[in-house]
Structure 1
Amino acid sequence: MSAPLISGGTQKGRSIMSETTAQTTGLASQYSAQVTGDLERNLKEQQRLSGEIEALQEKLTALQHDHTILVNLQQALGVPAAPVAPEAEPATAVPAPRKKAAAASGAPKQAKAKKTASARKAAPAKKQAVKKTAAAQSAAPTVAPTLVELVRAHLTGQGEPRSAAEITTALGEQHPERAVKATVVRTTLEGLVAKNQAQRTKQGTSVFYTAIDTASATSAEQPSPSA
């Protein structure tokens, strides 16, 4: 009687272990799929943030460059950096004798004469300041184009679709001083597609981009008078 009971208990134990193993395998596969999806979303978010950071860095560099030019122009024009505080109103003068009043009546004439002389002396200085300003403007270097402008110009000059890798290689050869990355170029291209300034096409597993004429796209979006 003891042998059948032992064999039955063994079979139940095996069935329980197999069910537990199956449940564990199912949970493991679910967690694996969830982790894979989270990793993909994390990488996409990193690429997006990298593109935004580089775009902001380029804007900051351009603003710093403009600030330097404006400061140089301000110094050339002789404009004070800080606002001038308003002058205090003169106190009410005590009435003076008639003789002193007569002398005071000639003071405005002398002040006008001094102002006229100082204005004549300041005229050549103003002309020199204007010349310095024109020279500084002509000698000021042009602001470097942003990556968005470079990508847009490259797409416009191409007669056929281009991939992100091809555009990255071309821009790297044209602008070796700039560290052009494929991830940033791809993010920039997607931004142009979102703004209806570029078109994305897919050929197999590859993605290609072409420029869209801004004028034609705007006229196509505007409703007709009959509508």
Structure 2
Amino acid sequence: MSETTAQGTELTSQYSAQVASDLERNRKEQERLTGEIEALQNQLVALRHDHTVLVNIQGALGVPAESDAPAPEPVTAVPTPRKKAVSTGAGKQTTGEKPALAKKKRAGTKAAVATPAPRSAGPKLVDLVREHLTSQAEPRSAAEITTALQQQHPDRAVKTTVVRTTLEGLVAKNQAQRSKQGSSVFYTTPETAAPQADEQTPQQSA
């Protein structure tokens, strides 16, 4: 009886050690997969942010947005497995029609989602920047214009990089002028620069 009890105790100890090892390995694997999922989600968030910035730059340059481009669909962390369709006689006839209908519905849904994507119901950023420059009597930097537009339009995501790109686009179209003071770059409109030249003329003639 004592030998049987000892063998049973030893066997139980071995099983306990094996289970503990398996649990630890399972826990580490879960931590590894969780870290990979979080990294992928962070990459997805960064890509969506870059997409928004690029769309804003495209709108600032006056390039029409591609309405036919499909809107990015949200990605869940853990995809749910698809259930296999039951292959019955009546089901085969309907399964041939359902994918086509599903595609049409999906395409209609994407088109409906893609249509309101560019929230350009209000004025474009290029128009806001041009109006702000026109209302200013002194040159303004991209950062100063960005701060002013953020205060005037708190509902819009105005970024300095997008404003600077918009200003350079206006300079290329001769709708704004660029001046440099030291290492800083300032922008004005031709209408703002003209009165300064007119004011200097009578002083020189006097």
TM > 0.5 fold call: no
TM-score normalised to the size of structure 1? 0.34
Which structure's CA Rg is the greater one? 1
Higher helix share: 1
TM-score normalised to the size of structure 2? 0.38
